[in-house]
Amino acid sequence: MPVIRLAMAQMNAVVGGFAQNVETLGRFRTQAATAGADLVLTPELSLMGYPPEDLLLKEGFIEASRVALIEMALLDNVPPVLVGTVVSEGLEDIALAPSSDGRDVARPAFGELGPPHIANALVALSDDGVVAIATKRLLPNYDVFDEQRYFHPGVGPHTIINVRGVAVGLMICEDVWIHNGPAAELAREGATMLVVANASPYARGRREEREAMLRERALETNCPIAYVNLVGGQDELVYDGQSVVVNAQGDVIARAAAFSEELLVCEIDARASTQGVPLASGYAGDDSRLTALHVNRVAEPLSEVEEVYQALVMGTRDYLRKNGFRTAVIALSGGVDSSLVAAIAVDAVGARAVRGFAMPSRYSSEHSVADAQDLASRLDIDITTIPIESAHSALGGALSDVLGGDPHGITDENLQSRIRGVILMAISNDTGAIVLTTGNKSEMATGYSTLYGDSVGGFAVIKDVPKTLVYELCRYRNESAAKVGDPEPIPSAVLTKAPSAELRPDQRDDQSLPPYDVLDPLLELYVEDDATAETMIALGHDPDLVLQITRLVDRSEYKRRQMAPGVRISKKAFGRDRRMPITNAFRQETL
């Protein structure tokens, strides 16, 4: 059987960063040439980043993508490449080269769905120009995806190119997920190998789901399948890479690393075929097939907790880097949440770029201040202590006439939190540093946070991390440090003391909420699985507790709508996934 040497460019694209993306793609094509690759496969919309959202509605953006594709065609002595981009209806914006044997280029047709006049496409580009274009058939419109707002679906015959006597069928992301869908159609039309360009966001358990699906498609089509995925952070989303190749029996024969840019080079056996548009090119390749290169590398999968931690680090790093922030500031309370955020921030951007602030009040315990200092020492970050007692007393006095006495209860508690928020934002304004908030998913779900207080900031690192997982991640980070002989970054006292906001004497979280090991399973059922209160009670959960928690979640939507974006690590995060109306009279009550 013929053998194709495929180079899969698992790249970190920048949304709207055409110059950066062209440079990255050029670098990968040059590396692929050195590796003797026959073809380079890039992720979905690799030329412009994913998801571009309403940038696609701007005429200048589409024109910029056309210009960037032309720049891609100007590279010499590099392998042909499959570029993820958009094409306009009628294809007037792309110069199409005739094939070397005089046949017309593969021209896709557009369906009628959607108001725009563009399609999500995979363009086969050689030094002869554009030789084929495949358009995405199935447009996802669920979870974080909203593609029917932007794209027309592809219709008509599928696109097949011929590389070294192998008929390679071109696909984009969602098209490969459906049984008896585009993959099966491509096989029936003569494809003997399938390649898939993807922008598949990370969520816990996603790698296993992808590889199980690819095994099903390979067995269904009797074709090897190469699946390349984006890597990197984009607002709330983070892409894990983990590009993979399966043979016709569905066995993994190559896998790229998680959360790292990589050129994965794989030699793939496929059935010979004369079908498809020939991928003619002046590029001769390297017949020596470099033996020093690690071909068909199968990276070891990460554990689930390590995947989550690396997702949080990459999402934080890319949010800061891509938005121009050089430094970050964090309120260090001596608690577990701020300790984890500080560790992630240091791993993301380095200790010199992270600064902590301890802001004790009259209710802060000595051990909490000491724990914050200990954490900063272990992470080697600067920490500044700013007591808030004088501001607390001054503001309390200023409000006493308005309130008919000194602030008390929740008013006084929130006042302390808001003072801290004002301090952090003043430092942010003065230094240009971004404030990283420290609230977790359990708190955001139940509204156990202060608007314009502990919620203030530019990026919510652990926004999608339930409290019980916060502890797991801290233990993982300590264990990973111990394995290489480094000091454990999270002090043991932080992991053993009862969680508390310390906004009143002897306060503990479990005075306002159930214990987190009871709360988090309920929140997972209600928020991520959309279970009804009746279903949760039928599963054995206490009826009064179920109704208390569902009511807390429902009435806190207005708070969540004002929270900073944060890394998505679950299959349903607050924000892009869960779009609930703020004004909403529906409540989960038992029948």
Within this chain, do residues 317 and 281 fall inside the same structural domain, yes or no? no
Q: CA dist 414 to 284, 408, 449, 450, 560, Å?
A: 68, 10, 9, 6, 17
Boundary-marking domain end, from 235, 266, 297? 297
Domain for residue 467, yes or no?
yes
Q: What is the pLDDT of residues 154-186, one digit of tens each?
A: 888 899 999 999 999 999 999 999 999 999 999
Q: Is 240 helix (H, G, I), strand (E, B) or coil?
A: strand
Averaged pLDDT, groups of 10, the chain, 591 residues long? 93 96 95 94 96 89 91 85 87 49 59 71 88 91 84 87 94 95 95 96 94 96 97 96 96 96 95 84 58 76 96 97 96 94 97 95 83 94 94 89 85 90 95 96 91 91 96 96 93 86 69 88 92 92 93 91 92 83 74 41
Is residue 528 domain-resident?
no
* Co-location of 225 and 336 in the same domain: no
Judge whether 530 lies within some domain.
no
Taken as a whole, the chain contains a residue count of 591
Note whether 131 and 217 are same-domain residues. yes
What CATH number should be reported for the domain holding residue 40?
Answer: 3.60.110.10
Instruction: Specify which residues 161 forms β-bridges with.
Output: 168, 277
CATH, residue 462: 3.40.50.620
Same domain membership, residue 438 and residue 397: yes
pLDDT score at 213? 96
Please check whether residue 516 lies inside any domain of the structure.
no
Task: Write phi, then psi, for 48 (nearest 5 degrees).
Answer: -125, -5
Residues 37 and 158 in one domain: yes
Q: In the prediction, which pLDDT does 591 show?
A: 41
Task: Say yes or no: 278 and 406 in one domain.
Answer: no
Name, in order, each residue with C-beta under 8 angstroms of 28's C-beta and a sequence gap of 6 or more: 7, 9, 11, 40, 42, 263
The answer to whether position 519 is within a domain reads: no
Strands 382-385 and 354-358: parallel
Same domain as 41, residue 24: yes
Catalytic (active-site) positions? 44, 136, 173
Q: Are residues 316 and 268 in the same domain?
A: no
With respect to residue 267, please indicate whether it lies within any of the assigned structural domains: yes
Give the DSSP H/E element, type plus range, for residue 218: helix 206-221
Look at residue 552 and tell me if it is in a domain: no
Q: What is the pLDDT of residue 292?
A: 44
The residues facing 134 across adjacent strands are: 122
Residues 6+ apart with CB under 8 A from 47: 13, 18, 21, 22, 25, 65, 68, 69, 72, 83, 84, 85
State whether 277 and 360 are in the same domain. Answer: no
| 541 lies in some domain | no
Out of 448, 479, 509, a domain closes at 509
The residue among 246, 272, 297 that closes a domain is: 297
DSSP 511-527: GTS--HHHHHHHHIIII
CA gap 207, 92 in Å, rounded: 38
Strand partners, 549: none
Please indicate, yes or no, whether residues 357 and 454 belong to a single structural domain of this protein.
Answer: yes
> What is the full DSSP assignment across 38-84?
SEEE--TTTTT-S--GGGGG-HHHHHHHHHHHHHHTT--S---EEEE
Q: Are residue 158 and residue 229 in the same domain, yes or no?
A: yes
Distance CA(29)–CA(37), nearest Å, equals 9
Same domain, 276 and 384: no
pLDDT digits (tens, 9 = 90+) for 60-103: 899 899 899 988 888 878 899 999 999 886 554 454 444 444 44
- For residue 274, what pLDDT is reported? 86
User: Nearest to residue 527, comparing CAs of 552, 564, 558, 509?
Assistant: 552
What is the number of domains present in the chain?
Answer: 2
* pTM metric for this prediction: 0.92
**Omega before residue 51 within 30° of 0, cis:** yes
Domain that holds residue 173: 3-297
